[in-house]
Structure 1
């Protein structure tokens, strides 16, 4: 009896030591971890950078390659990109949990280059749909670098995640706000924000730069969110910036009637948007065992893939039924932000009790 008990205690102690050893070998900083941050920055530049700059491609296709198609039909190419990028992440996450990031990154790099080469010689609708969809598969595999980043920073992942996510901002800065001579038909702008600004009288060239303003100011939010998340917790930070974005949409964007107010909204919203995007993966890492980090992160983003798929067509239909007014879309965006923040606040309250400032 004593021998069996001692044997069980010894086995438990050994298991505990193995588990502790496994946790301790993760650097949580240092050269290796920061090199992964640099790699994740590059993969974010190649993946989410494209998604966040879809307006440039939408406009180019409308005025050059796909003139015979309606804008709503062309938007499906770009909506499918975002959808498949997110929908594939549970599979990518499971492969990451089992095999690690190396093979994912090797395969993703090859597919990314091949997909872009095919897109560069595409002239038909179906060719662009297939080639850019092919690139989407590569973008999904490149997220292995982000998952590796979360694994190497078990204590405070928000700050390195903020630096890595800035890759999307730099991509947007290289494509957004192009002069009229580079993209034809300047009456078309690159986002709902810039199109709505033109509808209230903003000069078209200035309106084209609003997306660049959002991307530029989002750098402040991405880095600052990491600092706040390490002090107050990622959940508190995410909830706060999402509520702030809702307030900005409903109280500043909707009543904006001049250039100054629209530019102020773009600057402030960019900060909130950057913080929101940077902290998202840290929410999952906060409540997920390291062994299941890949699949859980993938499932988190897969749920949002459906909103990416239908958001463009819904926005187009809303604009058509409202007679060209952007008011309904602004109201819908504001209340959806409010709803999302409230759901996450409810989840936090359920886990921590009704303690508003509990770090979680």
Structure 2
């Protein structure tokens, strides 16, 4: 097993939305979260979703080969594009609000076009990234520059640069790889077989990891990593539906939660932007919230109303999170008994551009 990277040469607010500053997020606000909007028109499971870091935008990638862009302040679908040739699997925003990176589901062996840099503005593929030979299961963009990372079932993690086609660095490993940047872009984490988490300096990753953490007693594969916004904590979700919160500096386990199993569905958990709460899906179709400072005390439990959510993320700048299965839901603080808004999504739909 190779543990070091090698370099290669080459606002308008709608009535459903409450603008609660993150500094005011508390147990009462978290408990009040309820569905504010429902988007039911997907033709299959939603594979992944991502919020833009600075704009009120959300993007989804679905098994129906669609990529959809939403305005989260107005709960409005802005655009839908279909990608029948390559499919739409993992997705994340670049720094530009109308550009995304999307991984392919089809023809990976034939074309090697495993990643695409897409413009949602004019539905063009700006660049292909070739290298992975199997499905990508983890994808993340650096918060500070044009670098991004992908982890694939071909047992490699690759580092890329939006400006060039060629892979900039590669890590060979065993097991299902999972990757994440910290919120400052200084460090990235790679999870590998046996519950090992290796930390790399983003500026000198070719020197190998500077630290390794082990999730003691659990050798299940890590399917998701997230850093808290202050960089002090790491959130790990495993394939057997265990959640761990680690100290990002020393690797000590701060909290751990075991959730109901969800056969064939990998759940996702998320930090709130202040890093004080964790929200997760579960195999029983419920959503759970815990306060990190109160260790194992559960703050809230809600029926997701959409079955087992495969995607779950909290918006970076709002008191809002999105949960998705084959239905997308926006959750917001609820001060009344108002019914959630069911959205009729008639925004422009475009097929895959001929250049793709």
TM tier, smaller: under 0.3
TM-score (norm. length: structure 2):
0.25
The structure with more radius of gyration = 1
- Structure number with greater CO (CA < 8 Å, separation at least 6) is 1
